Structure 1
């Protein structure tokens, strides 16, 4: 099996955290998004990890060499931004006739048992992993009849289906799939100037390919700040780890403090992750991500993401307040 990981893209919905780094390297629950994804793939028998990168590709390569030095990786630059299907198609020269293929997009950390792929796909040509959602109008959805996908609708107005595509795909015959990709691109099958995978899959379905839509256990969106905090809270469940230095602190589970962080005189949690090299003093923080080398003093923070090497410092207030007073302090 080979894996294609399209990690190009500006990550505009995650700014300012993506001004200086690739969006797949943004941290959540103590690890980069990409590390969470690759760690879920390592147990599979994967011969090559093919990364589709942009001008930040050197960051991805350095990260993989540091965190996963034993994996066989290759890197292809997407010079023109022509959509996700175009990004996947760029990997065609790396595909051989005997390959099967997994495609994983980097906005999503998934919880799914991928060891079940042979069992799920024994009588079909591919798997379009899905998750039932309430806000189906925001997604491309799969329409399923008799356990097979018969149609795909982008952002439907009516609940024809709630099975949203989650950006995780398996194709049993990688070369055949690449042929359909090439045909879609040659035909100029674009939406608003970009190529998308549903058009490719619909070509396959019209040619009687059998595609299924297995549901994943959890779909953890990492594409914008609000959802990264939700994903952080989910991944921290059952992971209360204090590896750094702490003095006179209260930790409300779950909290993840990396080795090399220093916490003094503070209350942290729930759902707080603090990266190595950070210093937190005299502060109260909940539901937040504090990245490496950051200093926080005399602050009360909630629903907050602080990038690398941030300095957020206030001073303690001194007050003399009489009986029956009402004080409301905004911000």
Structure 2
């Protein structure tokens, strides 16, 4: 089994945090989004992962590539890097990894996290992960026949089709079939929204009678902008706390006259002085808090926070904050004092 992860976009809606680091490498509950995504998919599949292929922009740099290879290797898989240097759509992104498009594979876009527990229907030609939503008109949804098979993909339907939204994770029994269809999309210049779309390849597969079924997830968490990323961090902390899956507070944390209200993730060498932390807070390695109360917030590494009352805050690496603003979004190396 392979996992294909298109992630070349910079994540403009999450700026300033994505000005210095790609969105899929932003940490949620102490671990990069793409790391959690790949691990969660591997857990659902319950199969050996042979390869994880990442499609990135060439400008991401050597360190990002090394970090991604390490994610694959932690799963015992080969890590492969491909480049998409032009924003030509989801179908184009997948085709940038065409040398890896063979055999069974999952394609997952790296701006979402899931919680799921089901058996993958490997008898189908494809499984499209979906989540029941309250406002289907805001999403792309699937249309099912009486046998529960997917017969149509409908983008933001004005009239009710279904309330099962496509979340951007797909299984293909043989992803080479999708590759062939996407090649036809590109060769025939089939464009929607100015881009080559994965949906056009999928629609061609459906027209040829291939079987598509839904795979429904229990939780679908977005990381599109600051507010939803902070909310996703809080939700993930609750899941990890309840499951006791990971160490939430490092042994090297120094606590002086401070209180931690779970669930929280607190990294290595964090210092807490006269502070109240939590609930729903992630603090990256080597962060220092003094005279601070913080809740429902996501703070990265080497941050210094003093005299603050923070709620719904997101703070980048190596930042310094001293003040009484409450809901803030500060990028890497920013100083407010």
Q: TM-score, normalised by structure 1?
A: 0.89
The residue that corresponds to 2:327 in the other structure is none
2:24 is equivalent to residue 24 of structure 1: yes
Q: Give the alignment partner of residue 259 of structure 1, picking from 268, 273, 291.
A: 268
The residue that corresponds to 1:156 in the other structure is 157
Q: Give the alignment partner of residue 86 of structure 1, picking from 89, 92, 95.
A: 92
1:261 is displaced (CA, Å) by 0.8
Alignment of 1:50-69 (within 5 A): 50-54=53-57, 55-69=59-73
Give the Cα separation in 2 of the matches to 1:264 and 1:158.
55
Give the Cα separation in 2 of the matches to 1:203 and 1:2.
22
From the superposition, tell whether residues 57 and 135 of structure 1 become closer, same or farther in structure 2 (CA, over 3 Å).
farther
From the superposition, tell whether residues 197 and 273 of structure 1 become closer, same or farther in structure 2 (CA, over 3 Å).
same
1:137 is displaced (CA, Å) by 2.0
CA contact (8 A) 1:22 1:59 kept: no
Q: Give the alignment partner of residue 286 of structure 1, picking from 267, 288, 295.
A: 295
CA contact (8 A) 1:36 1:109 kept: yes
Alignment of 1:74-223 (within 5 A): 74-96=80-102, 99-113=103-117, 116-117=119-120, 120-122=121-123, 124-145=124-145, 146-223=147-224
Give the Cα separation in 2 of the matches to 1:311 and 1:301.
14
From the superposition, tell whether residues 100 and 26 of structure 1 become closer, same or farther in structure 2 (CA, over 3 Å).
same
The residue that corresponds to 1:45 in the other structure is 48
From the superposition, tell whether residues 205 and 57 of structure 1 become closer, same or farther in structure 2 (CA, over 3 Å).
farther
CA contact (8 A) 1:57 1:77 kept: no
CA contact (8 A) 1:142 1:161 kept: yes
1:183 is displaced (CA, Å) by 1.1
Q: How many pairs were matched up?
A: 309
The residue that corresponds to 1:311 in the other structure is 320
Cα deviation digits, residues 154-201 of structure 1 (max 9, x gap): 111122111110111000012112111111121212112111112211
Give the Cα separation in 2 of the matches to 1:34 and 1:106.
6
1:41 is displaced (CA, Å) by 4.0
Give the Cα separation in 2 of the matches to 1:71 and 1:105.
19
Computed over aligned residues only, the root mean square deviation of the Cα atoms, in angstroms, reads 1.7
CA contact (8 A) 1:21 1:59 kept: no
1:68 is displaced (CA, Å) by 4.9
Give the Cα separation in 2 of the matches to 1:273 and 1:282.
17
Q: Please, which runs of 5 or more residues in structure 1 have no aligned partner? A: 316-331
1:210 is displaced (CA, Å) by 0.8
Give the Cα separation in 2 of the matches to 1:112 and 1:302.
29
1:67 is displaced (CA, Å) by 4.8
Higher gyration radius (CA): 1
> Quick check: 66-75 or 132-141, which moved more?
66-75
SS at match of 1:204: helix
1:113 is displaced (CA, Å) by 3.5
